[in-house]
Amino acid sequence: MTVETARLTLRPFTLGDTDALFALMSRPEVARWSGRGVPMVDRQEAVDRIERMPVRRGDHPAADVFAVVPHEVEAPVGMAVLVPIPASEGFGRDAHEIGWHLHPDVWGRGYATEAATALVERAFASGIPEVYAVTNPDNVRSQAVCRRLGMTDLGLRSDWYDRELRAFRLDRP
Ligand SMILES: CC(C)(COP(=O)(O)OP(=O)(O)OC[C@H]1O[C@@H](n2cnc3c(N)ncnc32)[C@H](O)[C@@H]1OP(=O)(O)O)[C@@H](O)C(=O)NCCC(=O)NCCS
């Protein structure tokens, strides 16, 4: 399942993307905003991440972890996700999140917003009623993407990932 935008192809990762994913997630300025905030140091971590993606994508047919590939290149420059959002302990509600990670070499081109716009359309077209995005409270670049998408700022919320994050929501029109 591939998604085309004006400048990008969004497609599932394969093990052939291991070096590109490692190049992305070994960058401290990218890794600091996700998960434990620790950059990858070993290429095997990228292999493991790709192998876990089918689990991360969940059951919904529209959901996936997408490689972001500009039309003029072959290797991914980033990752965009439409995946189930893990509820915090005691917050057991099913929902989906969108997310984005780009290699710093391609920040400032609008790729994250372009990819996420396509994933939002895909989510709503497939019956998902609302999408969330959760950001580290200090991650102003990611919060700017949420605003460009027209998402509503929910403020600091602890509903997901067992920690306090700045959350955004977009409802199906
Ligand atoms: C968050 C992240 C994806 C944002 O990337 P980004 O390039 O700033 O965001 P966009 O793709 O929306 O690009 C918007 C910028 O491109 C510019 N731009 C240039 N050409 C453009 C075009 N054709 N269309 C739209 N915007 C364009 C915009 O003016 C804007 O610039 P600004 O930052 O100076 O205001 C990136 O910083 C990143 O990967 N960070 C590390 C990982 C991370 O934090 N992930 C999120 C975890 S919650």
Each residue of 79-126: pLDDT tens digit?
999 999 999 998 877 899 999 999 999 999 999 999 999 999 999 999
What pLDDT, on a 0 to 100 scale, did the predictor assign at position 166? 98
CA distance 48 to 56: 12
CA distance 151 to 168: 6
Ligand 1, atom nearest to 107 Cα: 7
What pLDDT, on a 0 to 100 scale, did the predictor assign at position 43? 98
DSSP state of 156: E
Ligand 1, atom nearest to 78 Cα: 39
Residues of the domain holding 44: 3-171
Q: Does residue 37 have its Cβ closer than 6 Å to ligand 1?
A: no
* Residue 51: CATH number of its domain: 3.40.630.30
- 54 Cα: distance to centroid of ligand 1 (angstroms): 27
Q: How far is CA 32 from CA 16, 42, 57, 82, 106, in A?
A: 25, 16, 22, 20, 17
**Euclidean distance between the first and final Cα of the chain, in Å?**
24
- 115 Cα: distance to centroid of ligand 1 (angstroms): 11
Q: Does residue 111 have its Cβ closer than 6 Å to ligand 1?
A: yes
Q: How far is CA 90 from CA 62, 87, 162, in A?
A: 27, 8, 10
- Spans in the chain with pLDDT lower than 70: none
What pLDDT, on a 0 to 100 scale, did the predictor assign at position 34? 87
DSSP state of 87: B
What pLDDT, on a 0 to 100 scale, did the predictor assign at position 131? 98
Domains in the chain, number: 1
CB 88 within 8 A of CB 162: yes
- 99 Cα: distance to centroid of ligand 1 (angstroms): 12
CA distance 1 to 65: 11
Ligand 1, atom nearest to 7 Cα: 23
Strand-pairing partners, residue 167, are: 134, 155
